[in-house]
Structure 1
Amino acid sequence: MNSTSPLLDVTDLTKHFPVMAGFPFKRKIGAVQAVDGLNLQISEGESLGLVGESGCGKSTTGRLITRLLEPTGGTISYRGQDITHAGRQKLAPIRSEIQMIFQDPYASLNPRQTVGKIISAPMEINGIKPHGGFERRVRELLETVGLNPEHYNRFPHEFSGGQRQRIGVARALASEPKLIVADEPVSALDVSIQAQVVNLLQQLQQELGIAFLFIAHDLAIVRHFSQRVAVMYLGRIVEIADREDLYAGPRHPYTRALLSAVPEATADDAPSRERIRLTGDVPSPVNPPSGCRFRTRCWKATDRCASETPQLVQVRDGTGGHLTACHYPEEPSLTPSIPQARTASDAPRPDKNPKAEG
């Protein structure tokens, strides 16, 4: 992290969705604790990867940060300004600076609008008047993301999935954002197309200095794209560190289990990496375990893990910025070796759930 104030500062962010039951008068009987006490920071121009199993709250976190969802608790600070519960008028000047790339390129584009209308809409809504007019700027953006500017008047159904996601990227760039939340932007695409989109985002991030929150479940792609990585489990961040520190020496047992599930290509006579198969299922977010939420699947759990919630703090003898929420963090010397960074072009797609097969 830079010593200056972060671009985005999230503190104790919480989102609980009520569970209603009864007829005809419904009443609240519980709450889905999708995000519960999340803390993270993103500096200007930085790319932070957010990884975890399906259902852990990654996408909800992205929608909270972009204020598409109203937080239940905690604070979201952008450029030092609290936007947690800001109204439409207060958010208006900030909306253009925080944009989102959605997971499904087929559902995120209006099928009744042309590409030109889709990409120019953010500029019109935010009162941005580009030099040379909207059409000229849209054509420039289409060229920036690798599409033909002549496609200005085409409709979304005329494009492939990868091309549609590029249109989504162009739409996000239209308002000249400072922060982009990319919610699993390649998970719905063919593997052969994933590399192209990831490399495009990385190129734009480097050239334009845009900060990214890159949400994904593919650990190899996250390592290729992100400078820092945060690991999320059942609504909470359990570990966050620089990319190389986390992949070379994971300190949280869950992170270690996740990384052990990443496929690696090794010679026949080379020693294989230890494969950790977690037992049990992910607990329900309606009734999560007390203390450490990972304890029901952790091989190091004790009574302390059930009674005391571990805080996200720097581990003993750890490098600066390597934070772990565990009472008994792994020792670096005992962690398995992790494959070197792959390029996105040959990034595999591991199973979202690292528990035992079958």
Structure 2
Amino acid sequence: MKEDTILPAPRPSAADGAQEPLLVVEKLVKHFPVKGGFPIRRTVGQVQAVDGLDLTVHVGESFGLVGESGCGKSTTGRLISRLMDPTSGTISYRGKDISHATRRELAPIRSEIQMIFQDPYSSLNPRQTVGKIISNPMEINGIDPAGGREKRVRELLEIVGLNPEHYNRFPHEFSGGQRQRIGVARALALEPKLIVADEPVSALDVSIQAQVVNLLQKVQKELGIAFLFIAHDLAVVRHFSQRVAVMYLGKIIEVGDRDSIYNRPRHPYTHALLSAVPEVGLEDGTGHRERIRLAGDVPSPISPPSGCRFRTRCWKAQEKCATDEPPLIQISGNRADHLTACHFPEDPTIEARDEDIVLDPALAALEETPEP
């Protein structure tokens, strides 16, 4: 029996008539030094938070990034928004390398890449009014919209489903969901082309999650903004994202379109993640997918395993997995845009049903609820 044919990962090309990608990240690395020793402190190790990451986000696309806590998702978002400097690798935005751009070089594009932070409580200045929080980016960038900044802020509040009269209120007067809407309004103030949403709904109640996700979808459709949507809730990611990347211990191990990843996952880790999602019919015993329970803990990013980083918890691991790191490539049986980093991928004929991956009942009930 012939082995699977390994094909090189496709690269988008403007010559093919396709639109140039908005964001291209190649071999991105971020290591944090670990200090030790006394009385002279020196570097004794490196936390490999992000280690050789590649991803592409197209204009107007919603791209989901999922994985366990501590896998490097939030660090990736902060690197892309240039809140952190990468150790190595390239971040290209609209064809320009911004990996190590200076503050002055970044100034023209700061307004085009905005971020929605995970915690709606600590991400807003408690000493400033809502009007000041949202208008600050415009003031810093010297933007004077027609009718004045106050008028624009009130328009943004209305867009995100808040009362324009909230302009003079302080953050402590709002609920968690309302605070996250303020964060969305602040991100929209500069009319960005790309928004990095770092777990924007993880700190919210389920019913409020649905409202915020619907709001982000509405904003994306009406304004054509691209999203890098970072989350660990697989149901929310499927509801929002068009393409999905699965991250493990600083590396992307599988990436593809939403349906391909959820219905035909090839990497064992992706299978394990999806097996943890609630199944339809579980209560009456008709659920058919077996829950995969991974053995052991996630290895330390200070000293990750050799070869495949998932091999210490993988039921398919063999000797080759310990010596050779699997490249992120297209494997036969996959679509051209479905890439997997695994020497022994899962059988592509085992296909999950669409209805197996379901939203939380409260989220599902509100997913089509129109914004107020």
TM-score by length of 1: 0.94
Q: Which residue of 2 aligns with 1:246?
A: 261
Is this contact kept in 1: 2:116–2:183, CA < 8 A? yes
Letter in 1 for 2:115: M
Q: Which residue of 2 aligns with 1:79?
A: 94
CA drift at 1:4 = 2.2
Match of 1:45 among 47, 50, 60: 60
Task: State the secondary structure of the residue aligned to 1:289.
Answer: coil
Q: Which residue of 2 aligns with 1:98?
A: 113
Q: Which residue of 2 aligns with 1:289?
A: 305
Alignment of 1:65 with 2:83, yes or no, is: no
Aligned counterparts of 2:359 and 2:272: Cα–Cα separation in 1: 22
Aligned counterparts of 1:344 and 1:207: Cα–Cα separation in 2: 26
Is this contact kept in 2: 1:99–1:180, CA < 8 A? yes
Task: Please give the per-residue CA displacement for 1:215-236, whole angstroms capped at 9, x wherever unaligned.
Answer: 0000000000000000000000
Q: Which residue of 1 aligns with 2:44?
A: 29
Alignment of 1:146 with 2:182, yes or no, is: no
Task: State the secondary structure of the residue aligned to 1:132.
Answer: coil
Is this contact kept in 1: 2:280–2:356, CA < 8 A? no
Aligned counterparts of 1:88 and 1:341: Cα–Cα separation in 2: 43
Is this contact kept in 1: 2:117–2:199, CA < 8 A? yes
Name whichever of 175-184 and 23-32 sits farther off.
Answer: 23-32
Is this contact kept in 1: 2:138–2:189, CA < 8 A? yes
Match of 1:270 among 286, 292, 296: 286
Task: State the secondary structure of the residue aligned to 1:69.
Answer: coil
Is this contact kept in 1: 2:206–2:360, CA < 8 A? no
Task: State the secondary structure of the residue aligned to 2:345.
Answer: coil
Q: Which residue of 2 aligns with 1:339?
A: 355
Aligned counterparts of 1:50 and 1:231: Cα–Cα separation in 2: 6
Is this contact kept in 1: 2:131–2:168, CA < 8 A? yes
Alignment of 1:18 with 2:21, yes or no, is: no
Aligned counterparts of 1:297 and 1:241: Cα–Cα separation in 2: 23
Q: Which residue of 2 aligns with 1:173?
A: 188
CA drift at 1:260 = 0.5
Alignment of 1:301 with 2:317, yes or no, is: yes
Letter in 2 for 1:74: G
Q: Which residue of 2 aligns with 1:118?
A: 133
Task: State the secondary structure of the residue aligned to 1:189.
Answer: coil
Letter in 2 for 1:86: A
Match of 2:329 among 291, 309, 313: 313
Inter-CA distance 180–95: structure 2 relative to 1 (3 Å threshold): same
Aligned counterparts of 2:19 and 2:215: Cα–Cα separation in 1: 28
Q: Which residue of 2 aligns with 1:56?
A: 71
Inter-CA distance 24–269: structure 2 relative to 1 (3 Å threshold): closer
Gaps of 5+ in 2: 1-11, 365-372
Task: State the secondary structure of the residue aligned to 1:32.
Answer: strand
Task: Please give the per-residue CA displacement for 1:201-256, whole angstroms capped at 9, x wherever unaligned.
Answer: 01101111000000000000000000000000000000000000110000000001
Letter in 1 for 2:127: R
Match of 1:328 among 325, 341, 344: 344
Letter in 1 for 2:29: T
Q: Which residue of 1 aligns with 2:5?
A: none
Match of 2:212 among 185, 189, 197: 197
Task: Please give the per-residue CA displacement for 1:44-97, whole angstroms capped at 9, x wherever unaligned.
Answer: 000000000000000000000000011001000000000000001100000000
CA drift at 1:3 = 2.4
State how 1:216-255 maps to structure 2 within 5 Å.
216-255=231-270
Aligned counterparts of 1:111 and 1:251: Cα–Cα separation in 2: 46
Match of 1:215 among 230, 244, 254: 230
Q: Which residue of 2 aligns with 1:163?
A: 178
